[in-house]
Amino acid sequence: MLDFETAQRLVRMQERIRTSTYHEIRKDGVHKSAEGRVSLAFVLPPVVGDSRDTEWLVEVYSYVLGPERNHEFRGKTALEAIAKAEDAVADWCMMPEMEMFSEAWPDTGATAEADDGELVAEVDR
């Protein structure tokens, strides 16, 4: 059974996706109807010809933010799979979140730019 704290981690992760997705859609409007879908599954391997162990799977659909549409994060425990998904979502959301920060507080000198494929975020104080 999924406990409340674990469910909240998924909800918080989806909220980051939601906020960043709406920010990106505002810029160009391209998205899919399943945008931001998150699911957690306990996966049992096939009964014939498969010696894999059981695993937990977090699936995230993000056409707007992720490098592909469907993303799968697997772990031996639900917490391991969720942690992997959270790490990826944090990477995807960094640029939109820094852009939103810069828009909300323009006088801080905060910037978010892509520099030769690297994410760069700065705040002048």
Query: Closest Cα partner for 42 from 9, 78, 86, 80?
Result: 78
Decide: 71 and 41 in contact? Cβ < 8 Å: no
pLDDT at 111: 57
Give the CA distances from residue 101 to residues 25, 93, 97, 112, 121, in Å, rounded to whole numbers and listed in that order: 17, 12, 6, 9, 11
pLDDT at 46: 83
The list of the chain residues with pLDDT below 70 reads 30, 108-125
CATH of the domain at 48: 3.30.160
**What gap in Å lies between CA 81 and CA 55, rounded to an integer?**
9
125 in a structural domain: no
pLDDT at 114: 57
pLDDT at 125: 45
Q: What angle do CA 8, 85, 58 make, to 5 degrees?
A: 80
Domain, as residue range, for 83: 4-92
8 in a structural domain: yes
Number of domains, the chain: 1
